[in-house]
Structure 1
């Protein structure tokens, strides 16, 4: 399965190629949406809107090699729109989600630590480490300078270290964190 080839075919109107393209990116799109929105219903809405917009706009895609970054950028914009709408609503009675059960405790701990990061740091970590995107690709997807991405990645790593490092008993008594 070749993203670039499917993108080229989809640009020419091949619906099956577009479906293959979406299927090959759907897990990445979900993970990214989840890292921004935190709620599955919102993730589904953002992904659905992303797919619809990408379908209509794919003939305008300039470089097929950037199709993943292009779709991620559309998704991020959709997630931001949903967040903006959500901020205008008053949520009542919302039950916080619990972490999924997993055999790998360390992975749960890492996931929880990543979820505690500020939005701007969490998305950089998700794109770079979980989606295997280069700094340049992350910068393009978020429409930010590469230096900003490097800085956020550094801050995110530091925060994750702080979350994950076991604290010595005396540290709490002396106020050292």
Structure 2
């Protein structure tokens, strides 16, 4: 995969297509984890392919091509979710009953929707993509210690949201 990335950076379109082919399942899974809709996930893969093609020459380290692509996907998904959240909040004031019904089947992914963007992306990278702390650190351009702290906070927030919705109270 690293050689494909090197060739793609140099302008080899065939290598770029092969690189995208090698990563498309992981990109799709990431999009599906965030967007939870087949159609939206497929659209996300298409958009990320376009963005990656446009920006492939900015990839500095070919060995991190997959991480770079996943980062583009996470940024795209966060943008989509932020837009949807604004619409949902607007609709919530109009359709309060429908909003409550939507939250009755609260699950982990629903709880993740309630987290801030950084927490969502770190949890997705760690648990949906199985990236190592070191790989997340490179993708987010922060020290490993910072990533560990953010991951710990994200997990605590997620646990609190799940406890909140499950009706459990801490003593």
TM-score, length of structure 2 as denominator length: 0.68
Alignment partner of 1:151 out of 149, 152, 155: 149
What is the match of residue 22 of structure 2? Answer: 24
Written as runs of structure 1 = structure 2, the 5 A alignment for 1:27-176 is 27-89=25-87, 90=90, 112-113=107-108, 115-117=110-112, 118=115, 120-157=118-155, 176=170
Does the aligned pair in 2 maintain the 1:11–1:61 contact within 8 Å? yes
Deviation at 1:69, TM superposition (A): 1.8
Q: Report the number of matched residues.
A: 157
Separation in 2, partners of 1:158, 1:77:
22
Q: CA deviation at 1:8?
A: 1.2
Structure having the higher helix fraction is 2
Alpha-carbon offset, residue 85 of structure 1: 2.6
Pick which of 154-163 and 5-14 moved more: 154-163
State the Cα RMSD in Å. Answer: 3.7
Instruction: Calculate the TM-score normalised by the size of structure 1.
Output: 0.66
Separation of aligned partners in 2, 1:9 and 1:38: 33
Alignment partners' CA distance in 2, 1:26 and 1:68: 10
After superposition, give the CA deviation of every residue in 1:83-102 in whole Å (9 maximum; x if it has no partner). Answer: 23323435587996xx9xxx
Cα contact 2:33–2:128 (8 A) shared by 1: no
Kindly tell me: are residues 114 and 37 of structure 1, through their superposed partners in 2, closer, same or farther at Cα, counting changes over 3 Å?
closer
CA distance change for structure 1 residues 141 and 35 in 2, over 3 Å: closer, same or farther? farther
Cα distance in 1 between the residues matched to 2:83 and 2:110:
21
Aligned twin of 1:105: none
User: Unpaired runs of 5+ in structure 1?
Assistant: 100-111, 165-171
Instruction: State the distance in 1 between where 2:157 and 2:75 align.
Output: 26
